[in-house]
Structures are given as C-alpha cells and as structure tokens.
Structure 1
C-alpha cells in the first residue's frame, strides 16, 4: 500500500514481512505497476521510529486498511512502534 505524506511516498506492508518485503529489503529497488503505468523506484526501509510516525500519520488521516495494523487514531506511539516492527515501511525515492 502506498502512502503519500508531506511530498514523500512510502510503501507499507499491511500483511507483515511477506515475500515482496523480503525481496525489497534485499534489492533496495522495485518496479511498481498500476494498470498500464510502470515506475521503477529505489526504496529504503525506514528505521522503527520513522516507520511508526508514517503509520501513525496515515491512520490518523483515515487509512482504510487501518484494521490490518490493529491500531487506531487514539493508539499510543508505543503501539505504533510495535506495529511498525512487524509491518515494514519503505521510503520510495524517485525513478531509477
């Protein structure tokens, strides 16, 4: 799931550390496709606190996938850190 915040794009895994996450962690780059649109990007996994902030902002902004993370807008930052440790978040950095 892509997240756009403050002019930056992120990719988060609502399903945890699944195969595509492990591949992205190893490769550091990806090809994103949506319909016929194809985009190559570099991706950097965020440290725990940064990932927790991105998830917290996204869920407070009304993310429809919030139930996958088992937190809500009123959850503590520590709960978001717990979630971020199981649901990696990557910063997408421009086309390659």
Structure 2
C-alpha cells in the first residue's frame, strides 16, 4: 500500500503520514487510512500507541501525502467518550485490513463495547 500511495494511488483513502521523529528530528513515514466522516477527517491508530502516535503527539503536526500532493496538518486528539462513532466507521470501512488488531470487536459492536476499547486506540481529528 505504501508504494502505491507514494505513486499517487490512494487505496480506499490511504495516505502516507510523515511526522518528525521526537528524538531524531528526521521525517518518519508510514501508511495510514484517512477516515472521512460527516465532513471531518480522522487518523485512527489501529495498533495503539505506536511510534507515529508518539511522534505526532510531540511534533504537534504532520504531513499527509498521496503522490506529489502533500498537506501539512495540525490535529486535536479525541477523548475516549468521543471515539465509539469513529471506531465504528473505521471498522466498517477497514475491518478486512485492521480487524485483527481489535480483538474480535467489529462495526456491529455496541457503544459500550467500543467505549471499553477506546483507550487503546488513539484518534486524531485533522484540523
């Protein structure tokens, strides 16, 4: 997916996320799925608090790219009580790709089930 996205082919909303390393200061890049929902855009970390999440929290901004198009962004990190609707939409769209990281929880889960797992999945609303 990373190679296709770098070439400008967005597979189901994929982007290349680039963030300055919190220790090295060098740009680090990873493929991500950008969720568009109700006119807003979100980055969900399906693997939890990974290096890109830690780097983004320290840097305060990142870049999203598809091919040669790059956008610098800032964000707001969502509180756990705001996450169920986003997690449900994310799982509905990308369960085939990331469902294994959600321990059997899927888009049909109740709000209570999604709220219970919310602390393990950082979500960033793109400004």
When the two structures are superposed, what TM-score results if normalisation uses the length of structure 1? 0.82
Q: 1:62 aligns with which of 93, 97, 110?
A: 93
Count residues in correspondence.
Answer: 92
1:78-89 alignment runs, 5 A limit: 78-89=112-123
Larger RCO, structure (CA 8 Å, separation 6 or more): 1
Q: Which runs of 5+ in 1 are unaligned?
A: none
Extract structure 1 runs of 4+ deviating beyond 6 A: none
**Larger radius of gyration, structure 1 or 2?**
2
When the two structures are superposed, what TM-score results if normalisation uses the length of structure 2? 0.64
Give the superposed CA RMSD: 1.6
Q: Which runs of 5+ in 2 are unaligned?
A: 1-32
Aligned to 2:124: 90
- Partners in 2 of 1:84 and 1:41 — Cα distance? 23
Q: Structure 2 vs 1, CA of residues 91 and 19 (structure 1 numbering), >3 Å: closer, same or farther? A: same
